[in-house]
């Protein structure tokens, strides 16, 4: 078993050694520091977040998405053809994102996250996975006056994000993860989704993962689990029904087992974590399980997020002893 | 109040600079809470006077004393702690309540503010509560085994506060539930909890449910939950979604005992809508609802506007309603 996170990590928190990103953004907006200064603060915070994850004992980490305002705009603002509109609620959470608007034909004009990946890899004690927004979810959360159908937007974005994934793999990323929570809210779109996913991973030389949280895979379990990725990550906290849908889990894939609640401060016990791993291990061998929180950790204050990672690592170690 | 096309506000108005600066000073220990309290009373009196000058029918206290609509209640209730900072969007952070024990109400929360605001005017002032579903949805939960148990306990506590407001003399009580329609599978629970809050009240009850209209646009069962919420008046956000919600009501008759508060200006734009534009919006409402069942008001609270913008929007609503009433011969 390995331990990892799904994506983002709280940007600020008490006890942080790095300068406050929140204060730096305020100073930048007031014109008191330069864009380079702000960039330097984000770099310091990224280093601290990488160190936090390593200290908690994770096997695979992310850069914490410290520079991202929300899951979409960091990509959308660098994909040609997108403008950004007003704030919209992010799924059923009390957080928001700026809606991307495809005003023109969408196009990849150069790497979006490759420099961030390189920086994280150089400053991390642990392997760093790259996380890229999924084309279906990005299209679903955008509006697209330039296009005639969702399918056209999804397929264009699949080509664009495929180029991003290839660039990340070429830069040395061992694993590129795509986040696709929206498909679990629109299950009828699975045929379109499958086609987009094939295009998305085409020629990507690294391992690949798809993570879909905030929903269960009932009704499309077999199809979803056979999508062309090395890792399939699911949310077992909001959707414990997923435990009973792993019967067809393919022997050549790994399961991303999201069992630590990333949306509530209540700290899981070691026994609870062991029990959840045991349930999944009825269908998937322990050596093919990556344990993680249920989604990105930015819904939590930083101290709670860190405490949960420490507990998760303890729970996995205990499960390794008890269940092996 | 009869005749129809009465005017009201949703809840919040912009806080004067001296309140914002003083809140920062209090959080840094540079000012006492008592000093801030006096300034909040001054700002409340300012808004009551402005609303009387506008000739508004049903007033609000403007919420000068609140930071966040959920945190304010959780801090005054038993059973809640407060979390570290979490981000909502951009560079905005807030602290969330955490249920750490049984939630309950041990003393008045809003009653003294309501009494103070009402003492300043002969016009009715709404009592303003946050609904149980929204309090739960915007909190962490370390105590309750289920969201349902959490929601129902909060509902009983908010009910006690509503009863206390009524005893103090409040004739209008609004229970805000902006989160109510976020999850289709919990809307029935949200409605049930609101029923606990309003049970047995004689006051005229109102609920404000914002955004996520598409959740209940998709199914008539969900729409029926919204249309039959256990309150006297549904306060709708309309302008923001280009009056889309009116179409949902167009094909059904409103229950005869229900009133509608119709949003006729956008709460999130700087522009003060011209009177004629507001009259057009009200006319669209009148195509669907009878005038004597209709209040007009901004989409949402106006706390994110500048004072001039908020006052301009409110004045134009009052003027638009007055002109339309004259045109339609409504008393």
Q: Does A70 contact chain B (CB < 8 Å)?
A: yes
As a 3-state breakdown, chain B gives helix, strand, coil percent values, each rounded to 5, of 45, 20, 35
- Tell me the chain A residues in contact with residue B91 when contact means C-beta distances shorter than 8 Å: 22, 25-26, 29
User: Are residues B314 and B14 in contact, defined by beta-carbon separation less than 8 angstroms?
Assistant: no
Residue B1, pLDDT > 50, answer no
Give the residue among B41, B36, B44 at the shortest CA–CA distance from B20. B36
Q: How confident is the model at residue B217 (pLDDT cuts 50, 70, 90)?
A: low
Give the residue among B270, B258, B277, B281 at the shortest CA–CA distance from B308. B270
Q: Give A 76-95 residues with CB within 8 A of chain B.
A: 86-87, 89, 92, 94-95
* Number of Cβ atoms within 10 Å of the Cβ of B164: 18
User: From the centroid of its chain, how far is CA B198?
Assistant: 15
Structure tokens at A68: 């991202």
Size of chain B in residues: 331
Alpha carbon of B8 to those of A175, A215, B59, B256: distances in Å?
56, 40, 6, 21
Amino acid B296: pLDDT: 97
Question: Per-domain residue ranges for chain A?
Answer: 2-323
The C-alpha atoms of residue B77 and residue B65 are separated, in whole angstroms, by 16
The DSSP 8-state label assigned to residue B253 in this structure reads: P
What CATH number does residue B159 fall under?
3.20.20.210
- Tell me the chain B residues in contact with residue A98 when contact means C-beta distances shorter than 8 Å: 89
Q: Which CATH architecture fits A2-323? A: Alpha-Beta Barrel (3.20)
More confident call, A126 vs B329: A126
The C-alpha atoms of residue B55 and residue B28 are separated, in whole angstroms, by 39
More confident call, B88 vs A198: A198
Task: Classify residue B212 as left (phi > 0), alpha (psi -120 to 50) or beta.
Answer: left
Domain membership flag for residue B269: yes
B111-129 tens-digit pLDDT = 999 999 999 999 999 999 9
Structure tokens at B98: 């955490």
Give the residue among A187, A192, A191, A249 at the shortest CA–CA distance from A218. A187
Amino acid B77: pLDDT: 95
Q: Does A23 contact chain B (CB < 8 Å)?
A: no
The DSSP 8-state label assigned to residue B10 in this structure reads: -
How far off is chain B from A92, nearest CA to CA, in Å? Answer: 6
Alpha helices in B169-290 (DSSP H): 187-198, 213-217, 220-227, 244-250, 275-286
**A195-229 burial: b if 16+ Cβ within 10 Å, else e:** ebbebbbeebebbbbbbbbbbbbeebbeebbebeb
Nearest Cβ partner for A94 among B93, B138, B183: B138
Q: Which residue of B has its CA nearest to A264?
A: B140
Mean predicted confidence (pLDDT) in A88-102? 92
Percent above pLDDT 70 for chain A: 100
The C-alpha atoms of residue A209 and residue A178 are separated, in whole angstroms, by 6
Residue A236, pLDDT > 70, answer yes
For the ranges A45-59, A299-313, B242-256, B309-323, the lowest mean pLDDT is seen at: B242-256
Rg over alpha carbons for chain B, rounded to the nearest Å, is: 19
SS3 B93: strand
Domain membership flag for residue B98: no
- Could you give the angle at the alpha carbon of B240 between the alpha carbons of B226 and B308, nearest 5°? 120
B48-57 tens-digit pLDDT = 999 999 999 9
Number of A/B CB contacts below 8 angstroms equals 57
Domain residues for the domain of B118 are 6-78+106-328
The C-alpha atoms of residue B282 and residue B228 are separated, in whole angstroms, by 23
The C-alpha atoms of residue A117 and residue A122 are separated, in whole angstroms, by 9
Domain membership flag for residue B265: yes
Mean pLDDT score of chain B = 93
Residue A87, pLDDT > 90, answer no
Structure tokens at A196: 């987009």
Amino acid B246: pLDDT: 87
Alpha helices in chain A (DSSP H): 21-29, 35-56, 73-76, 114-122, 135-141, 150-170, 190-201, 221-225, 270-281, 302-323
Domain membership flag for residue B93: no
Mean predicted confidence (pLDDT) in A12-24? 88
Structure tokens at B271: 């522009």
Do residue B89 and residue A96 have CB atoms under 8 angstroms apart? yes
> Look-up: residue for tokens 């808004």?
B47
Q: Phi first, then psi: what are they for B131, rounded to 5°?
A: -75, 155
A139-185 tens-digit pLDDT = 999 999 999 999 999 999 999 999 999 999 999 999 999 999 999 99
Number of folded domains that form chain B:
1
Amino acid B41: pLDDT: 97
Q: Give A 263-322 residues with CB within 8 A of chain B.
A: 264-266, 298-304
Nearest Cβ partner for A95 among B89, B91, B140: B89
- Tell me the chain B residues in contact with residue A298 when contact means C-beta distances shorter than 8 Å: 86-87
- Could you give the angle at the alpha carbon of B177 between the alpha carbons of B173 and B183, nearest 5°? 155
The C-alpha atoms of residue B296 and residue B260 are separated, in whole angstroms, by 8
Residue A231, pLDDT > 80, answer yes
Q: Phi first, then psi: what are they for A47, rounded to 5°?
A: -60, -40
Q: Does A10 contact chain B (CB < 8 Å)?
A: yes
For the ranges A215-219, B180-184, B241-245, the lowest mean pLDDT is seen at: B241-245
User: ipTM of the assembly?
Assistant: 0.93
Domain membership flag for residue B33: yes
> Look-up: residue for tokens 């951009």?
B90
Burial zone of A16 (CB within 10 Å; 0-12 exposed, 13-18 middle, 19+ buried): middle
The C-alpha atoms of residue B184 and residue B190 are separated, in whole angstroms, by 10
* Number of Cβ atoms within 10 Å of the Cβ of B282: 21
């Amino acid at each position: 078993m390995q331990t990892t996170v799904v994506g983002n990590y709280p940007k600020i928190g008490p006890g942080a050694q790095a300068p406050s990103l929140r204060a730096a953004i305020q100073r930048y907006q007031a014109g008191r520091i330069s864009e380079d200064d702000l960039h330097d603060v984000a770099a310091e915070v990224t280093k601290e977040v990488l160190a936090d994850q390593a200290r908690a004992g994770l096997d695979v980490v992310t850069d914490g998405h410290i520079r991202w305002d929300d899951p979409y705009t960091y990509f959308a603002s660098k994909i040609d053809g997108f403008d950004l509109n007003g704030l919209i609620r992010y799924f059923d959470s009390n957080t928001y994102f700026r809606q991307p608007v495809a005003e023109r034909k969408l196009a990849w004009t150069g790497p979006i996250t490759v420099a961030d990946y390189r920086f994280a890899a150089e400053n991390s004690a642990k392997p760093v996975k790259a996380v890229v927004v999924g084309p279906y979810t990005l299209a679903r959360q955008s509006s697209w006056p330039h296009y005639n159908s969702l399918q056209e937007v999804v397929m264009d974005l699949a080509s664009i994000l495929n180029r991003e994934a290839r660039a990340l793999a070429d830069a040395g990323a061992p694993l590129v993860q795509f986040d696709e929570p929206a498909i679990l809210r629109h299950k009828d779109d699975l045929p379109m989704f499958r086609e987009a996913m094939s295009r998305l991973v085409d020629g990507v030389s690294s391992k690949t993962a798809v993570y879909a949280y905030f929903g269960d895979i009932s009704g499309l379990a077999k199809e979803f689990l056979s999508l062309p990725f090395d890792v399939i990550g699911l949310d077992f906290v909001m959707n414990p029904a997923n435990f009973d849908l792993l019967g067809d889990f393919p022997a050549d894939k790994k399961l991303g087992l999201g069992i630590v609640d990333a949306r509530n401060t209540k700290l899981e016990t070691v026994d609870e974590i062991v029990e959840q791993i045991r349930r999944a291990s009825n269908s998937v061998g322990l050596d093919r399980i990556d344990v993680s929180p249920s989604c990105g950790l930015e819904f939590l204050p930083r101290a709670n997020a860190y405490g949960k990672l420490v507990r998760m690592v303890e729970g996995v170690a205990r499960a390794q002893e008890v269940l092996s | 109040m009869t005749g129809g096309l009465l005017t009201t506000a949703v809840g919040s108005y912009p806080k004067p600079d001296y309140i914002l600066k003083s809140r920062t000073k209090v959080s840094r220990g540079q000012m006492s809470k008592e000093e801030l309290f006096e300034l909040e009373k001054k700002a409340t009196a300012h808004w009551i006077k402005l609303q009387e000058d506008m000739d508004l029918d049903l007033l609000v206290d403007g919420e000068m004393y609140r930071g966040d609509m959920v945190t304010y209640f959780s801090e005054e209730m038993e059973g809640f702690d407060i979390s570290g900072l979490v981000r909502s969007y951009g560079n905005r952070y807030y602290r969330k309540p955490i249920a750490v024990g049984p939630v309950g109400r041990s003393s008045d929360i809003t009653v003294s503010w309501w009494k103070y605001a009402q003492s300043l005017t002969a016009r009715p002032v709404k009592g303003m509560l946050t609904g149980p579903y929204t309090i739960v949805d915007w909190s962490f939960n370390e105590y309750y085994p289920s969201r349902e148990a959490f929601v129902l306990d909060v509902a009983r506590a908010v009910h006690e506060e509503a009863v206390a407001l009524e005893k103090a003399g409040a004739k209008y009580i609004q229970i805000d539930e902006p989160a109510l329609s976020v999850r289709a599978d919990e809307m029935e629970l949200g409605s049930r909890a609101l029923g606990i809050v309003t049970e047995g009240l004689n006051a005229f009850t109102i609920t404000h449910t914002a955004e996520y209209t598409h959740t209940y646009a998709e199914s008539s069962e969900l729409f029926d939950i919204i249309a039959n919420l256990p309150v006297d008046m549904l306060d709708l956000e309309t302008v923001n979604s280009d009056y889309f919600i009116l179409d949902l009501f167009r094909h059904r008759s409103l229950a005869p005992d229900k009133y509608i508060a119709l949003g006729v200006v956008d709460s999130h734009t700087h522009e003060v809508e011209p009177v004629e534009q507001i009259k057009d919006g009200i006319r669209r409402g009148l195509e669907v609802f009878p005038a004597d069942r209709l209040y007009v008001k901004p989409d949402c609270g106006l706390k994110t506007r500048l004072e001039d913008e908020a006052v301009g929007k409110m004045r134009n609503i009052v003027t638009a309603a007055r002109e339309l009433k004259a045109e339609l011969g409504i008393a």
